[in-house]
Amino acid sequence: MMSGVNVAVFGATGAVGVEMVKVLEERSLSVNGLRLLASRGERTMKWRGGEVPVEAVGPSSFEGIDIALFAVEGDVSREWAPVAARSGAVVIDNSSAFRMDPDVPLVVPEINPEDIAAHKGIIANPNCSTIIALIALAPIHRAVGIKRLVASTYQAVSGAGKAGLDELERQTRDYAQGKPLSVSAFQYQIAFNLIPHIDAFGEDDYTKEELKMRNESRKILHAPDLRVSCTCVRVPVMRSHSEALTIETERAISPEEAREILRGAPGVKVGDAADEKKYPMPLDTADHSLS
């Protein structure tokens, strides 16, 4: 474990940034100094019983920083990640800006931590749906080889950031009060609806969100020939994405063998027992850490 590091959270006021600050408080990483960055200052955030000012990002924001956690949109990451890396910080970027860059490792700590060694100042964090899928699939891939994945996702509005969370809450409240619903964060009304459209449409009419599952899975698992078809759907759930994953394996594997592998896998909790009406649900998994 590293000790006594200076950490910056860039995008600290957003949906992901707020969670990062919370997790930093919970974990054992020894943080000497915490710098909170966003588009503007004039705000504070709670940290270890006190308050830390939010600062507007600028050319000297990353001086003296060891680890810079980026939770901003891709174009903002593209602008500032090289600045932070030149200042000597290691950037861990949550956006899609650098994920497929061959010079940038794409890492899930439970799966391919060894890839970090090749970093040149920037490490990318995968798409949220890809992380969730691979945490469960990587141990099975290692055991029996996965040839093909058919994935369906049920993605919470939290994936669209603070604007997405606010929109579902507002539309639900307005609906209950008989008021007209306004739409801004999503393409259509999300309350009492499903929207099979996350990010822009790309090749073969898959959305970019669906293509991320294919491209990022191949990179993380070092499996360039993995066949992936993914359907991503936004659902009116506040937090916690759900997924159905169907796989074809090189070697046959029984459900019990798969459960056994998953019981010992880092970051996985096996929670299905149909005869006891037990299965994973977003209300039970939101805001839970397994480590």
Task: Closer to ligand NAP by CB, 44 or 246: give it.
Answer: 44
The residue count for the chain: 291
Task: Closer to ligand NAP by CB, 147 or 239: give it.
Answer: 239
| CA distance between the termini of the chain | 15
Strands (E) in 96-206, as ranges, are 122-124, 146-155
If one asks whether residue 161 binds ligand NAP (CB under 6 A), the answer comes out as yes
CA distance linking residue 220 with residue 235, whole number of Å: 27
Q: Which sign, positive or negative, has the C-alpha torsion 41, 16, 5, 112?
A: negative
Please name the residue that has the structure tokens 């680890």: 67
Task: Closer to ligand NAP by CB, 146 or 237: give it.
Answer: 237
If one asks whether residue 122 binds ligand NAP (CB under 6 A), the answer comes out as no
If one asks whether residue 11 binds ligand NAP (CB under 6 A), the answer comes out as yes
Task: Closer to ligand NAP by CB, 65 or 72: give it.
Answer: 72
Stretch in the footprint of ligand NAP (CB under 6 A) among 9-17, 207-215, 216-224, 251-259? 9-17
Stretch in the footprint of ligand NAP (CB under 6 A) among 13-21, 140-148, 221-229, 250-258? 13-21
The tokens describing 18, both together, are 């707020």
128 in active site: yes
- Residues of this chain, 65-94, that bind ligand NAP according to CB under 6 A: 71-74, 76, 94
CA distance linking residue 85 with residue 122, whole number of Å: 7
If one asks whether residue 106 binds ligand NAP (CB under 6 A), the answer comes out as no
If one asks whether residue 282 binds ligand NAP (CB under 6 A), the answer comes out as no
Residue 10 Cβ vs ligand NAP, minimum distance, rounded to whole Å: 7
232 in active site: no
If one asks whether residue 17 binds ligand NAP (CB under 6 A), the answer comes out as yes
Task: Closer to ligand NAP by CB, 195 or 270: give it.
Answer: 195
Contacts from 168-175 at CB under 8 Å and sequence distance 24+? 168/236, 168/238, 169/238, 172/236
Pairing of strands 242-249, 146-155: antiparallel
CA distance linking residue 30 with residue 43, whole number of Å: 24
Q: Which residues contact 275 (CB under 8 A, 6 or more apart)?
A: none
**Under a CB-based contact definition with an 8 Å cutoff, are residues 201 and 210 in contact?**
no
Residue 3 Cβ vs ligand NAP, minimum distance, rounded to whole Å: 27
If one asks whether residue 124 binds ligand NAP (CB under 6 A), the answer comes out as no
CA distance linking residue 30 with residue 268, whole number of Å: 26
Catalytic residue among 222, 230, 241, 288: 241
If one asks whether residue 109 binds ligand NAP (CB under 6 A), the answer comes out as no
Which residues are catalytic, by number? 128, 241
Which residues are at the interface with ligand NAP (CB under 6 A)? 11-17, 38-40, 57, 71-74, 76, 94-95, 128, 158-159, 161-163
